[in-house]
Amino acid sequence: MSLAGAALSGVLALSAATPALAGPAHPDGSTVRTSAATADHQAAAISKAQKLKRLNQLTEKYGMPLWENTRVKWQDGHDAYHFDWSTDGCSHVSDNPGGFHFWESCARHDFGYRNYKKMHEFTRAHKKRVDDSFLQDMQNQCRRQWGPYTELQRKGCLKVAKKYYDAVRTLGHLQ
């Protein structure tokens, strides 16, 4: 399978898993689980425009730290926006090509595609935004992983990142 085909073959797979919902914390630090009715009320309180604004923030080019922080909160049961956090990593290609760790970049890319699609807002502009953020995330990983790389390692990592980016730009679908 070509890198381009493999890079996107699993992007459209959606997970039906729903995270546990948690309510406000008690003074003792424990959390209160909310009922499905309460969760539906909370979700209804957030408009589509508010959710889209938050999605734009989480998928912007330099938004990886915000996305990571928000993902940790989701894992702890806090996601008022009810985003789809499912991912298959780098979609049937290595999450670690040549030892370069691209899993988080791929997970954030999946997050952008899946949530814009679920909101019926996956335009060419949003696709480009998510794809460009994907490249930026991988390039940042190339620059920071394991301290200083040799120049050869850095160039190799950036070259692989560009190939992954080219694959999603070419094969990523708007449907």
How much is the mean pLDDT over the chain? 78
| Model confidence band, residue 40 (pLDDT cutoffs 50, 70, 90) | very low
How far is it, in rounded angstroms, from Cα 155 to Cα 53?
35
How far is it, in rounded angstroms, from Cα 36 to Cα 22?
11
pTM: 0.72
The correct answer on CATH 1.20.90.10 for the domain covering 3-19+47-171 is: yes
Give the model confidence (pLDDT) of 75-123 as tens digits: 999 999 999 999 998 887 877 788 888 999 999 999 999 999 999 999 9
For residue 35, the tally of other CB atoms under 10 A from its CB is 10
Residue 148: strand, helix, or coil? coil
Contact status, residue 12 vs residue 5, Cβ threshold 8 Å: no
Query: Which one from 92, 109, 120, 173 is the annotated catalytic residue?
Result: 109
Catalytic, 41? Answer no
On the question of pLDDT at 39 being above 70, the answer is: no
DSSP 39-97: HHHHHHHS-HHHHHHHHHHHTSTT-HHHHHHHHHHHHTT--TT-------TTTTS-SSG
For residue 30, the tally of other CB atoms under 10 A from its CB is 8
> Residue ranges per domain, the chain?
3-19+47-171
